[in-house]
């Protein structure tokens, strides 16, 4: 499928990855309809960071993914749909599991049914590496068992299986993309990398130490622009229909090593670091190692990451520094 000049819908467009995907699609010449969560402030979330020349080409639809009537209207007339709308914070899923089912499962069902009714030619459904849980073997390929180690991951497994069922039951042209840990500009302090960066930058002003949870988990970090290109490659690849495809670098860093690399880039190697117990996940819920097998993405999509981890961190540091006052570094963001 050639997406150029085509009408496409991005759900969750105001989010971190969603905003970068919207930007990449606009740069490719797509006619983009951006679904954002309704708010009375007319706030477009991370889409506000796009250049005006791109924002002026957007069609914004504000509503709620859990409303099937709204979703059906949003899907109408679109050749392809990228479904990213979801609740994604693992700690918040311990507090509000019903909300995760409503948004991640029911919301996905609404998108699937709308795409079926409207004859959409390609739906890219977003999964997460968290669906794999603690690795039984590494690198983790797409055949790895799925394990619901948090209400978040359980809700995403359910959503993935709904997508699979619509492909098998109704021949819906859906492909599932499974990104590993994405990072980059515009990411909130819900994620570990901007949490570390913002606290390190604030240390110079406040003298406060960096507060973290466990430093031992290993993650496969992918820069957000590479992840956005993965979405586009999945949509364009006819052979991806019915498939689940990992998007990850195939390399890992511990949280501790990531912290020290950030401090090295900042030239602040001696910032004190302390463990904040509220940031430590329950032992059986914590995923110790995520390492992507990305051969399927390389061979099927021709996708390879273009940014090194250090390059991505440097760009993320610049972005956080430019908007540091937006980060509430003294508050744990679940």
pLDDT of amino acid 37:
97
Residues of the chain with CATH 3.90.25.10: 185-219+251-291+307-326
Mean pLDDT of 146-173: 98
* Distance of alpha carbon 173 from alpha carbon 134, whole angstroms: 30
CATH number for 185-219+251-291+307-326: choose from 3.90.25.10, 2.40.110.10, 3.40.190.10, 3.40.50.300.
3.90.25.10
**Does 280 have pLDDT greater than 90?**
no
Flag whether pLDDT at 334 surpasses 80.
Answer: no
**CB 127 within 8 Å of CB 244:** yes
State residue 288's pLDDT score.
Answer: 87
CATH architecture of 7-182+224-247: 3-Layer(aba) Sandwich (3.40)
Helix (H) / strand (E) element for 262: namely: helix 255-266
pLDDT at 331 over 90: no
Q: What's the pLDDT at 205?
A: 85
Q: Do the beta carbons of residue 255 and residue 217 sit within 8 Å?
A: yes
Alpha-carbon torsion 333, 126, 319, 35, what sign? negative
Please state the pTM of the whole predicted model: 0.95
DSSP 200-244: HHHHHHH-PPEEES-S--EE-EEEHHHHHHHHHHHHH-GGGTT-E
Portions of the chain given CATH number 3.40.50.720:
7-182+224-247
pLDDT-above-90 percentage for the chain: 90
Q: What is the pLDDT of residues 17-31, one digit of tens each?
A: 999 999 999 999 999
- pLDDT for position 22: 98
Catalytic residue numbers read 152
Closest CA to 249 of 176, 324, 313, 186: 313
Q: Exposed, middle or buried by CB within 10 Å (0-12, 13-18, 19+), for 28?
A: middle
Q: Is pLDDT larger for residue 74 or for residue 328?
A: 74
* Chain Cα centroid distance, residue 7: 22
């Amino acid at each position: 499928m050639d997406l150029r000049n085509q009408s496409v819908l991005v759900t969750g467009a105001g989010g971190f990855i969603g905003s970068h995907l919207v930007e990449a699609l606009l740069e490719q010449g797509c006619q983009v309809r951006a679904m954002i969560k309704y708010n009375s402030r007319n706030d477009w979330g991370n889409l506000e960071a796009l250049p005006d020349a791109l924002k002026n080409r957007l069609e914004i639809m504000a509503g709620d993914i859990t409303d099937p009537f709204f979703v059906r209207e949003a899907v109408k007339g679109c050749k392809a749909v990228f479904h990213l709308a979801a609740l994604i914070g693992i700690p918040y899923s311990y507090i509000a599991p019903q909300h995760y089912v409503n948004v991640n499962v029911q919301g996905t069902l609404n998108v699937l049914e709308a795409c079926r009714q409207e004859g959409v030619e390609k739906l890219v459904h977003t999964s997460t590496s968290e669906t794999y849980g603690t690795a039984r073997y590494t690198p983790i390929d797409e055949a790895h068992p799925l394990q619901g180690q948090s209400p978040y991951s359980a809700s995403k497994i359910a959503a993935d299986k709904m997508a699979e069922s619509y492909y098998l039951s109704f021949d819906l042209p859906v492909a599932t993309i499974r990104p590993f840990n994405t990072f980059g500009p515009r990411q909130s302090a819900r994620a570990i990398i901007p949490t570390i960066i913002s606290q390190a930058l604030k240390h110079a002003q406040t003298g406060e130490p960096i507060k973290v949870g466990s430093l031992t988990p290993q993650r496969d970090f992918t820069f957000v622009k590479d992840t956005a290109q993965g979405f586009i490659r999945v949509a364009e690849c006819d052979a991806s229909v019915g498939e689940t495809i990992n998007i990850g670098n195939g390399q890992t860093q511990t949280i501790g090593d990531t912290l020290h690399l950030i401090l090295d880039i900042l030239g602040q190697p001696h910032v004190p670091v302390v463990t904040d117990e509220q940031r430590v996940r329950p032992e059986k819920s914590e995923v110790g190692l995520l390492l992507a097998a990305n051969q399927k993405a390389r061979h099927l999509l021709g996708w390879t990451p273009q940014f090194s981890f250090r390059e991505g961190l440097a760009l993320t540091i610049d972005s956080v520094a430019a908007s540091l006052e937006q980060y509430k570094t003294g508050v744990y963001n679940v």
